[in-house]
Amino acid sequence: MTDSLAFAAGTAAPAAAPSPGPLLSLRRADEAIGVACTVVIVLSITWGVVTRYLFPQPASWTFEVAVIAFGWLVFFGAAACIRWRMHADVDALVAMFPSPVRRAIFIFNWWLLAALFVTLTAMFVWQAVIAHSIRVVVIDIPRSVVYAPMAFASLLMLVQHLLLKPWASGWQWQPSSEIAP
């Protein structure tokens, strides 16, 4: 349905989403890292399968690389999802409360998530520090290489959470897209 037909029918066309900008930009670094991790996972698993069936000695490093890349993918993907408000929120019960209660729950939830991201960052930094002397078994790198990017991704989650700026709208609760108007 074209915009003019939608307008004539009494249904407004959805507004175009703002352009996210190029993938290889600082604003979308979390997404670019997630894409790179996905490519690493696919290539390492593919190489592991190829070497298992075509060569006498399979590549032993492919599983560890895929697991590390998957961990990074989860955390950097979570940071990107915060920016796009893509995390699940089951707010059917909250929607039934009066406006002041919804606002209080919203503020509490926002601060709770901020505390979670600060805690995750601190715990992954601490884990990276204490695990630096421990080596990953097959690829022989410090285990801090596994945990330090997760600390950075947790910090990105906090930054994305702060950039939502709920105080700019007066801490007003917004229903999720699943709730019909």
SS3 letters for the chain? CCHHHHHHHCCCCCCCCCCCCCCCCHHHHHHHHHHHHHHHHHHHHHHHHHHHHHCCCCCCCHHHHHHHHHHHHHHHHHHHHHHCCCCCCCCHHHHCCCHHHHHHHHHHHHHHHHHHHHHHHHHHHHHHHHCCCCECCCCCCECHHHHHHHHHHHHHHHHHHHHCCHHHHCCCCCCCCCCCC
Confidence at residue 86, expressed as pLDDT on a 0 to 100 scale: 82
* Radius of gyration of the CA atoms of the chain, in A: 22
Q: Please say whether the beta carbons of 62 and 139 come within 8 A.
A: no
Cβ neighbours, 10 Å, residue 149: 20
Confidence at residue 5, expressed as pLDDT on a 0 to 100 scale: 39
Confidence at residue 138, expressed as pLDDT on a 0 to 100 scale: 92
Confidence at residue 3, expressed as pLDDT on a 0 to 100 scale: 40
Q: Which helix (H) or strand (E) holds 68?
A: helix 62-83
Between helix 144-163 and helix 62-83 the angle, nearest 10°, is 10
Spell out, as residue ranges, where the chain has pLDDT lower than 70: 1-20, 176-181
Confidence at residue 125, expressed as pLDDT on a 0 to 100 scale: 97
